[in-house]
Amino acid sequence: MERLPAGEFCRFAFYKVRRDWKEIDPSARRGYVDGFQKALEGFTEQVWTRSYTTQGFRGDADFLLWSVTRELPLLEQLAGAIAKTDLAYHLDTSYHYLSMTRESIYLKGHGHGTNAEDTKTGEWLFIYPFVKTREWYKLPFEVRHKMMGEHFKIGHQFPNVKINTTYSYGLDDQEFVLAFETDSPRDFQALVIKLRDSEASSYTLRDTPIFTCLQRPLGEILASLL
């Protein structure tokens, strides 16, 4: 099931804590964490942000901040505020993706993207950048439309898996960033396996790295770093 509305800018920022973090006095670390959280709280009315832990799921990232806004400069301002915190000196941005939401050209009336007002979200988030082959774009629109119709039918077999399709054309290296929300990792894997059998999948150039993310309050994630 697709998410609405369209016309929003998305930033997927994955952070990894450096080894020197544990060398800092624990009381100082708590202050750094508080400062980091306050920096994000200053944007709550302008930028919708969800936090996810990736600890135990990837060795090159500890947590994700998924931020969405209608105004692209706000993402730059948010990143700047984070960079000024003491904690930022002990973080590496291991992965970073920029994209925006828009209406699907294959399924009119459906927007691809997030809905900041929708609180019915899955506990799990699966994210990956996605690139189609050049041969895909050489196909007639009618042929691509038919293939995508098969894709949508497969997706409807898993109503508890919500897809957020965001577009990176002209904004970042990949063409799309796909983000799937669900309460069942098993159902998501079953969906991916079925999509692998679809005709459109043969026109996939790249769909890695894949990130398994677990939604958690930012304060809880940061506290786990202490």
- CA 40, 165, 190, 121 torsion: positive or negative? positive
11-24 confidence digits (pLDDT tens): 999 999 998 998 99
Residue 77 has pLDDT above 60, yes or no: yes
Task: Give the domain 1-226 fold.
Answer: Alpha-Beta Plaits (3.30.70)
pTM of the model: 0.91
More confident of the two residues 146 and 115: 146
More confident of the two residues 26 and 119: 26
Could you tell me the two tokens for 171? 């904004």
Nearest partner of 100 among 63, 132, 74, 61, judged by Cα: 74
Residue 1 has pLDDT above 50, yes or no: no
More confident of the two residues 140 and 114: 140
DSSP letter for 2, please.
B
Indicate the pLDDT class of residue 120, thresholds 50, 70 and 90.
Answer: low
Q: Where are the domains of the chain?
A: 1-226
pLDDT at residue 5 in the model = 61
Residue 212 has pLDDT above 60, yes or no: yes
- Mean pLDDT score across all residues of the chain: 91
Cα 121 from Cα 183, distance rounded (Å): 8
